[in-house]
Structure 1
Amino acid sequence: MSRALLVIDVQESFRQRPSWELISDPGVAAKAARLVEHARAQDDLVVWVLHTEPGTGTVFDPELGHVRLLPGLDPRPGEPVLTKTSHNAFTTTGLQQLLTERGVREVVVSGIRTEQCCETTARLASDLGYQVTFVLDATATNPIEHPDAPAGRTNAEILADPRTLGVEEILTRTEYALAGRFATVTRVADVVGEPATV
């Protein structure tokens, strides 16, 4: 086993936020599930990662019960389920030790927050010497407000602000930042060897 699929933060916490209605792909769990099925068929390791913010009272606080995978994603016995408190999947989890013990040299990245937890994990994995495949359409993100934008705005106000970065721009920027530097950027259909669906 030299390859691992990382399914990062595809969790209920995000669906509990008002911003979920602006997510770039509400079907991201189904795309992650296709990658999981393919990885299992290839006898690759599947690693599940969940983001937690203990004691905060937010949707990422395990006490509220939302730190769980979205429906349709079901770890099998022997598939590690890690919890993290950092943006990347390595720093607070022991992921690197796990991958080393399993002889993994390549990681495939999917998950929620394309430019945040997914991209940060891909960059760090590359720096650690892993071959990285970033499955862009198996990641999802939300529009990003300008740093000077007032807090507490509605989704409509966020979208109406010309300074807001739209999801397509974020996805494109991540692809440009990673491709040829930190990762091979690809799509689900290319990974699983199926025709792309429209």
Structure 2
Amino acid sequence: MTRALIVIDVQESFRARPEWAGINNPRITDQVNRLLRLARDAGDTVVWVLHSEPGSGDVFDPALGQVRLMAELEPDDGDLLIHKTSHNAFTTTNLQQELTLRGVSELTVCGIRTEQCVETTTRVGSDLGYTVTFVTDATATDAITRDGVTLSAEEITRRTEFVLADRFATIATVDELERRAAEEAR
């Protein structure tokens, strides 16, 4: 198959941060596992991406043990596991080379921080020539306050969908992808 599921930063580091209390999708692993089953049934490549900041002394420092997949996820020995140190999954990794070796041309993207690492990976993937599907309900974020103005997680998600749609990605939900897979199986 020419598709890959890219799961970005669904890692214990985020649950170890106080901001997790305000996350808009605390059960993100349920949605990711549904996507994982779709990918495995289709024979797609599965890529797990973890963010790490070696030597930082915070929850993203691998030495402290939080840079690992959330416990509820269902990885397999045949999956790729990539560690990144930038906002997107391409710049500081060999992800593009791995996808090229597998003949991947389409990406399904999900993960944690909707507007940050997931959106940035989507944009870079599109710029590299991949056809990208951004699965909104399999992403998570929290509110952002800057200069006295707060955007809710819902506003951030809506903005992300708005700027990605028809430019960098197709926006989808897990339900839509499951229906599509069922129709293709007929």
Indicate the TM-score class for this superposition, using the shorter chain for normalisation.
Answer: over 0.9
Amino acid at match of 2:75: P
- Unaligned 5+ segments in structure 2 are 181-186
Separation (CA, whole Å) in 2 of partners of 1:3 and 1:58: 34
CA distance in 2, matches of 1:71, 1:189: 23
Which consecutive aligned stretches of 4+ in structure 1 deviate over 3 angstroms post-superposition?
none
Cα deviation code 1:119-140 (max 9, x no counterpart): 0000000000000000001000
Q: Distance in 2 between matches of 1:172 and 1:126?
A: 19
Q: What percentage of aligned pairs have identical amino acids?
A: 59
Specify the alignment match of 1:19 in structure 2. Answer: 19
Q: Which residue in 1 is equivalent to 2:162?
A: 176
Q: Any idea what SS the aligned residue of 2:59 has? A: coil
Greater shift in the superposed pair: 38-47 or 72-81: 72-81
Provide Cα deviations, 1:174-194, integer angstroms capped at 9, x if missing partner.
000000000000101011128
CA RMSD for the aligned pairs?
1.0
Q: TM-score, normalised by structure 2?
A: 0.95
Write the distance in 1 (CA, Å) between the matches of 2:78 and 2:32. 18
Q: Deviations over 1:89-114 (max 9, x none)?
A: 00111000000000000000000000
Structure holding more strand per residue: 2
Cα displacement (A) at 1:74 = 2.8
Matches for 1:27-176 after TM superposition, within 5 Å: 27-146=27-146, 148=147, 163-176=149-162
Scaled by the length of structure 1, the TM-score of the pair is 0.89
Structure 1: tracts of 5 or more residues without a match: 150-162
- How far apart in 1 are the matches of 2:68 and 2:178? 25
SS at match of 1:164: strand
CA distance in 2, matches of 1:90, 1:192: 27
**AA in 1 matched with 2:168:** F
Is 1:189–2:175 an aligned residue pair?
Answer: yes
